[in-house]
Structure 1
């Protein structure tokens, strides 16, 4: 969310909100995810590519 708000992309924010992307995830889906690494990746708009993020977090 932070990456999208920094880029002020209202269309993408609305789209991802509609998909529930900003809802709190079920804890079983985020077990073992490095929170600091996720924060680092999500703070950089250029790096926030779902494929890259998935690989970095071993999804």
Structure 2
């Protein structure tokens, strides 16, 4: 399978599972991720990014 056929791993918000390639609509899933294990951690990754952005916003507001 080449890169054009392989569109990565996704975490589906609708059913709470990992998908590879075509699946649920992109608007209902997070990704793509490079592998299944990373896609399975999608909610944790999103939470960590949100925390980092919130912290950055707080720091910018104090400057």
Structure (1/2) with the larger strand percentage: 2
Q: Compute the TM-score of the two structures, normalised by the length of structure 1.
A: 0.24
Task: Flag the structure with more relative contact order, 1 or 2, with Cα contacts below 8 A and sequence separation at least 6.
Answer: 1
Structure (1/2) with the larger helix percentage: 1
Q: Compute the TM-score of the two structures, normalised by the length of structure 2.
A: 0.24
